[in-house]
Amino acid sequence: MVHDKFDRGEVLLIKGTFHFRCDHLIAVKQKDVAEEEILLPSFEPLRFKVANLEGDYFVFDPDIVQIGYPLLIYRNAQITWKWFTAERRTSIFRVISEIRPARVVIGGTESDAIPEAVFEKLISKFPTSHELK
Protein backbone atom coordinates (compact mmCIF):
# COMPACT_ATOMS: atom_id res chain seq x y z
CA MET A 1 0.00 0.00 0.00
CA VAL A 2 1.16 3.52 -0.78
CA HIS A 3 0.90 4.87 2.76
CA ASP A 4 2.93 1.93 4.09
CA LYS A 5 5.63 2.73 1.55
CA PHE A 6 5.66 6.36 2.67
CA ASP A 7 5.72 5.33 6.35
CA ARG A 8 8.90 3.39 5.57
CA GLY A 9 10.38 6.50 3.93
CA GLU A 10 10.33 4.92 0.48
CA VAL A 11 9.69 6.68 -2.82
CA LEU A 12 6.65 5.73 -4.90
CA LEU A 13 7.62 5.37 -8.57
CA ILE A 14 4.68 5.64 -10.97
CA LYS A 15 5.00 4.60 -14.63
CA GLY A 16 8.78 4.79 -14.44
CA THR A 17 8.47 8.58 -14.53
CA PHE A 18 7.09 10.15 -11.36
CA HIS A 19 9.04 9.82 -8.09
CA PHE A 20 6.72 10.69 -5.20
CA ARG A 21 7.48 11.12 -1.52
CA CYS A 22 4.97 11.59 1.26
CA ASP A 23 5.48 15.37 1.22
CA HIS A 24 4.23 15.52 -2.39
CA LEU A 25 0.87 14.10 -1.28
CA ILE A 26 -2.05 16.52 -1.10
CA ALA A 27 -4.69 15.69 1.49
CA VAL A 28 -8.09 14.87 0.00
CA LYS A 29 -10.91 16.79 1.61
CA GLN A 30 -14.30 15.13 1.86
CA LYS A 31 -15.84 18.05 -0.08
CA ASP A 32 -13.59 17.12 -3.04
CA VAL A 33 -15.34 13.77 -3.33
CA ALA A 34 -18.63 13.48 -5.22
CA GLU A 35 -21.68 12.51 -3.18
CA GLU A 36 -22.06 9.21 -5.03
CA GLU A 37 -18.50 8.18 -4.16
CA ILE A 38 -17.73 6.19 -1.06
CA LEU A 39 -14.23 6.40 0.30
CA LEU A 40 -12.97 3.24 1.90
CA PRO A 41 -9.92 3.78 4.09
CA SER A 42 -7.71 1.52 1.98
CA PHE A 43 -8.96 2.87 -1.36
CA GLU A 44 -8.98 6.61 -0.91
CA PRO A 45 -7.87 8.64 -3.94
CA LEU A 46 -4.39 10.09 -3.78
CA ARG A 47 -3.44 13.44 -5.25
CA PHE A 48 0.08 14.71 -5.69
CA LYS A 49 1.40 18.17 -6.44
CA VAL A 50 3.77 17.78 -9.39
CA ALA A 51 4.21 21.36 -10.63
CA ASN A 52 3.79 25.02 -9.74
CA LEU A 53 2.15 27.57 -12.01
CA GLU A 54 4.66 30.33 -12.76
CA GLY A 55 3.29 32.88 -15.21
CA ASP A 56 1.88 30.97 -18.17
CA TYR A 57 3.76 27.72 -17.47
CA PHE A 58 3.61 24.80 -15.10
CA VAL A 59 7.14 24.24 -13.83
CA PHE A 60 7.55 20.61 -12.82
CA ASP A 61 9.19 19.65 -9.54
CA PRO A 62 12.66 18.25 -10.40
CA ASP A 63 12.41 15.82 -7.46
CA ILE A 64 9.29 14.28 -9.01
CA VAL A 65 10.20 14.33 -12.70
CA GLN A 66 13.89 13.49 -12.37
CA ILE A 67 15.28 14.33 -15.79
CA GLY A 68 18.15 16.73 -15.12
CA TYR A 69 16.69 19.85 -16.74
CA PRO A 70 13.75 22.22 -16.13
CA LEU A 71 10.44 21.11 -17.63
CA LEU A 72 7.84 23.77 -18.39
CA ILE A 73 4.46 23.06 -19.95
CA TYR A 74 2.08 25.78 -21.08
CA ARG A 75 -0.88 26.21 -18.74
CA ASN A 76 -3.48 25.62 -21.49
CA ALA A 77 -1.78 22.57 -22.98
CA GLN A 78 -3.92 19.44 -23.26
CA ILE A 79 -1.60 17.19 -21.25
CA THR A 80 -2.09 13.41 -21.25
CA TRP A 81 -0.16 10.46 -19.77
CA LYS A 82 1.35 9.93 -23.20
CA TRP A 83 3.29 13.16 -22.78
CA PHE A 84 5.25 11.59 -19.93
CA THR A 85 5.41 7.84 -20.36
CA ALA A 86 5.74 5.58 -23.38
CA GLU A 87 5.30 1.81 -23.36
CA ARG A 88 7.04 -0.31 -20.76
CA ARG A 89 7.42 2.58 -18.35
CA THR A 90 9.75 4.57 -20.56
CA SER A 91 9.96 8.19 -19.43
CA ILE A 92 9.55 10.41 -22.50
CA PHE A 93 11.46 13.26 -20.88
CA ARG A 94 14.27 11.00 -19.69
CA VAL A 95 14.77 9.92 -23.32
CA ILE A 96 14.79 13.60 -24.36
CA SER A 97 17.40 14.26 -21.65
CA GLU A 98 19.88 12.21 -23.68
CA ILE A 99 20.28 15.22 -26.01
CA ARG A 100 21.11 17.34 -22.94
CA PRO A 101 18.74 20.28 -23.38
CA ALA A 102 19.09 23.34 -21.15
CA ARG A 103 15.34 23.06 -20.56
CA VAL A 104 12.24 21.79 -22.31
CA VAL A 105 9.31 24.12 -22.88
CA ILE A 106 6.14 22.80 -24.46
CA GLY A 107 3.54 25.15 -25.87
CA GLY A 108 3.08 28.84 -25.28
CA THR A 109 5.09 31.76 -26.59
CA GLU A 110 8.60 31.26 -25.20
CA SER A 111 11.23 31.50 -27.96
CA ASP A 112 12.47 27.95 -27.30
CA ALA A 113 9.01 26.39 -26.93
CA ILE A 114 8.13 23.22 -28.80
CA PRO A 115 4.64 23.64 -30.30
CA GLU A 116 2.14 21.15 -28.84
CA ALA A 117 1.43 19.62 -32.27
CA VAL A 118 5.14 19.02 -32.86
CA PHE A 119 5.52 17.44 -29.41
CA GLU A 120 2.48 15.21 -30.03
CA LYS A 121 4.04 14.08 -33.32
CA LEU A 122 7.35 13.38 -31.56
CA ILE A 123 5.78 11.18 -28.88
CA SER A 124 3.73 9.32 -31.49
CA LYS A 125 7.07 8.05 -32.86
CA PHE A 126 7.85 6.14 -29.65
CA PRO A 127 7.38 2.39 -30.19
CA THR A 128 4.21 0.66 -29.03
CA SER A 129 4.28 -2.44 -26.81
CA HIS A 130 3.54 -4.53 -29.92
CA GLU A 131 6.53 -3.02 -31.75
CA LEU A 132 8.76 -3.69 -28.75
CA LYS A 133 7.99 -7.44 -28.83
What percent of the chain is predicted at pLDDT more than 90? 54
What's the mean pLDDT in 23-31? 73
Instruction: Supply the pTM of this predicted model.
Output: 0.78
User: What element of type H or E holds 70?
Assistant: none
Map residue 74 onto helix, strand or coil: strand
Q: Residue 45: what pLDDT?
A: 78
What's the mean pLDDT in 6-14? 92
**DSSP, res 61:** P
Least confident of 18-27, 33-42, 62-71, 78-87: 33-42
Distance between CA atoms of 39 and 124, rounded to whole angstroms?
37
Q: Residue 128: what pLDDT?
A: 66
Q: Residue 105: what pLDDT?
A: 97
Average pLDDT in the chain? 86
Tens-digit pLDDT profile for residues 93-117? 988 888 888 999 999 999 999 999 9
Q: Residue 100: what pLDDT?
A: 86
What's the mean pLDDT in 59-86? 94
Q: Contact, 110 vs 55, CB < 8 A?
A: no
* Overall size of the chain counted in residues: 133
Q: Contact, 127 vs 96, CB < 8 A?
A: no
